[in-house]
Amino acid sequence: MESNSGGKRVLVTGAAGFIGFHTCGRLLQQGNTILGIDNFSTYYDVALKEARTSILKNHADYDIARVSIEDVDTFAAAWANFKPEVVVHLAAQAGVRYSIDEPRSYIGANIIGTHNVLELARHYPVKHLLAASTSSVYGANTQMPFTETQRTQTPLSLYAATKGATELMGHSYSHLFGTPMTFFRFFTVYGPWGRPDMALFKFTKAILAGEPIDVYNNGNMVRDFTYIDDLAESIVRLADAVPGREPVEGDSLSPVAPFRTVNIGAGTATQLMDYVAALEQALGCEAIKNFMPMQAGDVPATEASADLLRRLTGYKPDTSPSIGVPRFTKWFREYYRV
């Protein structure tokens, strides 16, 4: 099933980021015209963001504005000049652990930045606003798989709390001003061009250097690992699934607004140690494992229900770690020449 989202003017925030880069690439393949927005934050190596951007800028239908979504005047000028039909809001301060050490950055990027996005969509209406949330909003929930209709009022980190807050903000704006919105909840995304603070990146770097890897909760962790190409494809397809009045089976569609939340995950629970084993096989060497207790703010398990995504788009992520992890290590070795 091919997406028919070609030909739109799409504004993508966080375009130089891991997910933004891949999403822009997939949107460009569909024939869209893209304006990327990114402030090239120093949260991690800016050279990686520049390298991603240099690839996207080879495409005639891509341009990028180096502005922060927190700088409302400059951001508004770029938005108004581009006149987007669709907005994919991916810019955020990510990371559970970092939200404990640097909480203020999450309020700025996630709360204030998203409020600016919502205000601009109010004053310069778009056909569909899509925004990134996270599986972390499920917090203390233990019933698996997580479904979009479960309560999300028990976040375990400020990161999760800010993302849950953006969902609530989005719903209120969708209700008040009629903006169709889809908030998607990502489940442990990985793949080439990933962020250096992500587990697979850190594990690979340490193993190749002969250094130990920190394995939290003594390895007793379960994750729904989602390969980046599957995630980008899901976002592109969801751009066409504009929330309307008619719900589908198991829908999270609001009864009072054109608003829904959608999980983007493979719907497969993978043991962390199996993920590590796939990495060891891909690298051809065994990791030195430093088993640690659970990190503050983390959860022992996540697993998505992908049923709503499939019903809305006809698509479901299906790349297993045995395939996705070697693709990452191949990129890592080539990019860092190791």
pLDDT at residue 2 above 60? no
pLDDT at residue 3 above 90? no
Residues 75 and 87: their CA atoms lie apart, in Å, by 13
Q: For the segment 264-294, what is each residue's pLDDT rounded down to a tens digit?
A: 999 999 999 999 999 999 999 999 999 999 9
Average pLDDT over residues 77-85: 98
> What is the reported pLDDT for 6?
52
Residues known to be catalytic: 159
Which has the closest alpha carbon to 237: 176, 170, 305, 317? 317
| Topology of the domain covering 9-187+227-265+305-318 | Rossmann fold (3.40.50)
Q: In terms of DSSP bridges, do strands 181-186 and 128-134 run parallel, antiparallel, or are they unpaired?
A: parallel
pLDDT at residue 83 above 70? yes
Confidence of residue 103 (pLDDT cuts 50, 70, 90): confident
Distances (CA, A) of 259 to 43, 244, 250, 270: 31, 8, 14, 31
Q: For the segment 55-65, what is each residue's pLDDT rounded down to a tens digit?
A: 999 999 999 99
Q: What letters, b where the CB count within 10 A reaches 16 and e where it falls short, cover 85-100?
A: bbbbbbbbbbbbebbe
Distances (CA, A) of 103 to 43, 90, 159: 13, 19, 8
Do residues 88 and 130 lie in contact, with contact meaning Cβ atoms separated by under 8 Å?
yes
The answer, yes or no, to whether the previous bond of 145 is cis (omega within 30 of 0) is yes
Do residues 118 and 170 lie in contact, with contact meaning Cβ atoms separated by under 8 Å?
yes
Q: Where are the domains of the chain?
A: 9-187+227-265+305-318
pLDDT at residue 98 above 80? no
Q: For residue 75, give the amino acid letter.
A: F
Average pLDDT over residues 173-202: 97
Confidence of residue 4 (pLDDT cuts 50, 70, 90): very low
